[in-house]
């Protein structure tokens, strides 16, 4: 009976512990896709606030047709991009997805993606689904309409 009571008391705590987020995102953003290109990229600083290593991958990000994790590396004097299945963050550590380095790559939005909107990126974090919003920001400030000869 006592064991039953202890279980009843501890079960909700166990469930809470299991569902506590293990990743904390800081400044997650996606550059608004540009005309003439079907791809864009997303970035964030991601902290693993748990005491265990965490692996995560990205699985979907509507309205984009696909989303992947990529690394940008310098290889034989060339800048090269390599798809990786997942990123690993050590316990109580952080990784920075930043321009020119690790990033998430998004492909073929099926509608206009507006500056300021939030894109829900679905992640697989240690086998569990998590959703994180990324804010869409402009790649560049608007410039005056062209008047040159082209």
- Binding residues for other proteins, per CB under 8 A? 31, 34-41, 65-66, 68, 70, 72, 74-75, 77-83, 99-100, 103, 105-108, 139-141, 143-148, 150
Which residue's CB is nearer to other proteins, number 22 or number 106?
106
Name the minimum Å distance from CB 80 to other proteins: 4
Name the minimum Å distance from CB 117 to other proteins: 18
Q: Under a CB-based contact definition with an 8 Å cutoff, are residues 104 and 41 in contact? A: yes
Q: Under a CB-based contact definition with an 8 Å cutoff, are residues 104 and 69 in contact? A: yes
Q: How far apart are CA 57 and CA 125, in angstroms?
A: 7
Name the minimum Å distance from CB 143 to other proteins: 5
Name the minimum Å distance from CB 140 to other proteins: 5
Q: How far apart are CA 107 and CA 63, in angstroms?
A: 9
Which residue's CB is nearer to other proteins, number 38 or number 62?
38
Q: How far apart are CA 62 and CA 54, in angstroms?
A: 24
Distance, CA of 123 to chain centre: 7
Which residue's CB is nearer to other proteins, number 127 or number 145?
145
């Amino acid at each position: 009976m006592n064991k039953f009571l202890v279980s009843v008391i501890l079960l909700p705590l166990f469930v809470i512990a299991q569902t506590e987020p293990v990743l904390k995102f800081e400044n997650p953003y996606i550059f608004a896709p540009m005309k003439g290109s079907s791809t864009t990229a997303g970035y964030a600083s991601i902290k693993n606030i748990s005491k265990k290593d965490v692996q995560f991958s990205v699985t979907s990000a509507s309205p984009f047709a696909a989303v992947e994790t990529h690394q940008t590396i310098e290889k034989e004097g060339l800048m090269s991009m390599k798809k990786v299945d997942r990123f690993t963050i050590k316990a109580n550590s952080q990784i920075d997805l930043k321009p020119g380095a690790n990033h998430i790559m998004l492909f073929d939005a099926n509608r206009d993606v507006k500056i300021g909107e939030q894109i829900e990126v679905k992640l697989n974090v240690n086998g569990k689904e998590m959703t994180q919003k990324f804010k869409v920001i402009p790649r560049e400030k608007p410039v005056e309409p062209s008047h040159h000869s082209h």
